[in-house]
Each structure stands twice: as C-alpha cells, then as structure tokens.
Chain A
Amino acid sequence: MTDPSDAASEVKDFCETFERIRAEMGKMMVGQREIVDGVLVAFFAGGHVLLEGVPGLGKTMLVRTLSEAVNLRFSRVQFTPDLMPSDIVGTNMIVEDEHGRKSFQFQRGPVFANILLADEINRATPKTQSALLEAMQEHHVTVGGTQHQIEQPFLVLATQNPLEMEGTYPLPEAQLDRFFFKLLVRYPSSDELQMILDRTTASDVPAIVNVLHSAEEVLRLRQLVRQVPLAREVQAHAVHLVMSTHPENKEASPLAKRFVRYGASPRGAQALILAGKIYALLDGRYHVSRVDIEKAAPAALRHRILMNFEGEAEGKTSDHVLAEILQNRAG
C-alpha cells in the first residue's frame, strides 16, 4: 500500500467492515452500542476485553455473535474455583499409536481459539487466572517445556460479576493490565428490554452473516489501523493523560493525588493511541486527534488505576479520577 488512493480505499473498507460487523451484532444485541463498539475496537486493535456486568446482560451472547460475524473459532471457558490451568491451556496426554507405542501428545485447551470467552474469570483461583497471562500477552503457551503458538487473531473476552464477590478472586494487577479495555455493561433501558423480549420470545433467532471470511483479513485490517498517523503533540496528550493518573507526578489531578495508589501503566498509553486511531478512522479522518484519545481514555485506563484505601473508603472509583482529569483537559 504505497498509493494514497489505495490507502483511502482500504480505510473505506475498514469502516464498512466495522459497520457491517456492528450491524450483525446489532441483530442479537439490543442497545449496548458502546459495548459493541468497544469490543470491536479492541478486536481490531489486537487487545483483550474485560466485561464487567451483572449476569443476564448478554455478555456471552455478544462474544458468540462476534465470533460468528467475523467467522473465527470461538471457545468458552466457565471459570470456577476448581478450574485448573491445564483445563485452559491444555495438557500432555499419553497416547498409544497403531503399533502400540505410547507417547505424550499435547492436547490443546480452549485457549487455542481465535476468540476466547473467559466467563466469570474472577471465580477461578489466581493460579488459573495467571495461566492466561502468557497466552494474552505472548500469544503462545508453554506446556512441558514446549511452546505452543496460538493462532492469530486471538481475542480474550473475559467477564466478571461485580456483585457476587464472595468466593471470588479479584484479578491480579498484572493480569488486569493485559486487558486492552474494561467495559462496564449497563442494564438495558425499558425500551431496550422490550425489544429484547420481542426478539427472543416472539420470533426466531436471526441468522448472523459472516462479514469477514478469514483471519488474514482481520490481520490486514489490524495492520491498517497501526498505520494511521499521529501528531507528536497528540501523542504527548496521551502521555499527559496517563501521567495525570500518577499521584506522585506533578501533573496529577487532585483526586489522583489523594485517592490513587498506582497510576496507569505504559500499556494504558498504548491502548489510548491504538484505540484513538480506530476512533479516528471511524470518524472519517486519517489522523488521530485529542478527542479520539480522550474518547478511549475511560475504557483503556479505568482498570489500570488502583485506588488506595482512602479512595475505596470514600467510594471513589477510577472513573471519578478519569472524569476529573478529562474535565481539566477540556477546561
């Protein structure tokens, strides 16, 4: 792609693809536009998504619909306290061939899929949660000293229930940081709920059309996203936002200074930029603006900011801190 006109057509193709996937998902998902957009942005940015919401809001449906729309392999793991890491990544099993010789053969776990739904991820023990770390970041797993590559694209969509905290294991910070976005699934409105009831009880389930036909197509679009130019000043703005979440930094906001224990990591800044690029393309621009960065900030940074004891006691969340930072930027 050296010709600007080719680039323009590819960008156009990206936007159309995005819109079509969104439309296909809209067949199954009523409302939740921000969630759908967020998942798609993370999907094209090459990141993973943590969905937080009460049960029954369509989180699993969202993931399933996405996998069908993009025509990629989908697997689901229901995380429970007794789930073992091998249950996710796979294990070496003794198999006997036709000559009666026995040997170890690696049996792939559910992680070997393009889209993995880790349902109620906080119910598994930290040991099991950590089994996803390598897969999420390095896109491979190591079992018995042998690395097993995970096919690209690879997207982990994890869900967690914010209400039932008993018997759960909060995700460790290292693993939280590996999620590109954390999206809060809100309860549907009355109209949306009625529409859900109409769709699920009165008629047949609509068929999902494959928008993308191969994984290569996804990777090509991902590559396009990374080529979107970004001015140095806009990048500095992203850095500034991230630094504002650090309480020890002189640019920190008052709330961050008081209630934040640790600010967002560099991965947060990467997420801001990549998401900003996709938002810019969706907005019909070929460059990233500060508005795109700020649009991505809540989803990209909220799980990367750790509140201190005082903040938790005061009922302050990372969203409060981010809202103040963004308001200060706008002012």
Chain B
Amino acid sequence: MFICGITNLNFMQRQNFVKLILWLWRALLIAGAVLLLLWLYNNNLVASGTWTAEKDFCQETNKSILTSPLTDPISGLYPADRVTASGIDSQGRCEQDFFAEPVYFDINIPRSFDHVRLKIYYQNTSQPLLQIGLAKVGQLSDDWSFQLQPLENQYFDKLNWFKINKGNITLWQKNKQFNTIEQFVNNIPSNQRVATFYYDLTSEAIKNPKKVIQWNYNTPMQYVDYVISTYQPPQQVGDLKFGQADFFITPDFSNGRQITFMFSAPNLAKAQQPIKVYKIIAELDREPSGWSNFGAIISNFWTSLWNKLNQ
C-alpha cells in the first residue's frame, strides 16, 4: 500500500517525499549519536557516586564476539599457572579455582573512587588463612605492595577462648580477665602475651612492648594469652562462604582506570584442595557529582586534559 502510494505520486512529489524521509532519517541518526554520547558520558561520570561491578565467572563460558573484553569489568583470576579455567561445578554454578598463591584479578573502573567494598562468595575447606589485598600501582611484579585485609582466619574461628565483640573489634582471652574491650585496652597486662591481627594498639596503651606481637600464621597460640583483632569471620551461605573486605583507594592504589587485587593463602600449594571462587561483587564509592561540585569536576577535567596534552 505504501509503495503503491509512492508510485502514484508525480516527480516533484516523489522528490519532496524522498527529501523528507532523508531529513527525518538524518535527524534520527544525529539524535541517536548524541544520545549515545550522552549515555557514555553519564556512565563514565558515575554521578550518583556509587558503582557496582559483579563477576559470577559465567561470562567466560558465554562470550559473544560482539561483547567487548572490558564490558566484564572484573577480570578472571590470573596467572594461568596458578588457576583453573572458569568452569561449572556439580551444582551447575560457575566458578574459578586457584591452587597456588598469590593470584590476582583486576577491576576496570570508569573513573577514580575513594573506597571499595569487596564481597566474595567462595569455598575453602583446607586453607586456615585467606587474605585479600589491594595492590599499589606501578609496582614491579616481584615487588608489589598491598593493603591486606583478612577474609577468613580458621585459627581464630576454631579458638575456644572467651570472646568479646564490640563493633568490628574482637578480643579473645585464654583466661577471662576482662569484661569489656575498653577495660582490656586501658589495662593491657605487662606480664602476658598479646597478639594483634589487623588491629593497632597505641604505644601509650602498651606497657611492655616485648609482650605485644603482631599475629601471623606461624605464631603458636599456646604462647599467646590475648588476641585482639578487627577480623570478622565469613558468613555461611548454603555450602559457600561469604566474606567482605573494605579498602580505601588512595592515588597510590589506582590510576583511575584499573585497580588490582590479590588473594593470599599461605602454603596453599601444599594443600590438596583448591579455593573455589564463585562470585565477586565490588561496590565502589566516591563523592556524588552534583551542582555543588560541578565547577570542581569541570576544572579537574580540563586539568587532566591539559596534563594529557602536555605529556
């Protein structure tokens, strides 16, 4: 009917009709291009200040030729000689195993962020200590330095001592002497050994520095009377463990385009069981972009453009 209608038009009418269609088409194309650029700008601006990336290790198995390698912002675990390829377990869940440490993964980020909370679903049967670290940028591969956080410490989880929790701080006592953490911190015994794990006691609080040690997996628990730590044990979710760790991303730890993490599990290579990672969720945040800091955003943009052009 449409074609019949066109064929009934005279030459001038046809020409005008073709022109109209073409201008409408051009307007549509230009509007589409502008909308695409605005969408890209909005995605990279992260105006809300929070950005979440998730990896469930299924993407590797259904990768399309049209999918950009970077549209999966969280990379798989590497190097290849310490990990298995992503696969599917007996219950049909995607996962990736690592059997030697350290192993790394990267997160491609659209802009710089101040803080990241990592949430990790994993299975670990044999490794008593599992830690995760945020790597400094520009370090040599054999000289990396990390902000480490504990994911799981089975030495502490199995500790049958008196335990007091307050906020994210936990105190374990071999023999109960203190009722609160404040009491302990204000009266640290000078004749008994205190081990700290991701917790710093102030120098004023420590009466006998020789009796205060930083705990590591070689520390025999029989020589320790108290342990104080910010460690929180992972939650059990079905047959998986769920652990989380928070990191502050200072400029030393990010170039604004990528951040790198490391899993550390001492002596994993000697263990018979690998660690299976099922899901990684990264929640990144920064100051939201709004009219109040619009001037600063534009100024930062031009500064970075100017620095780039002068490189």
A binds B: no
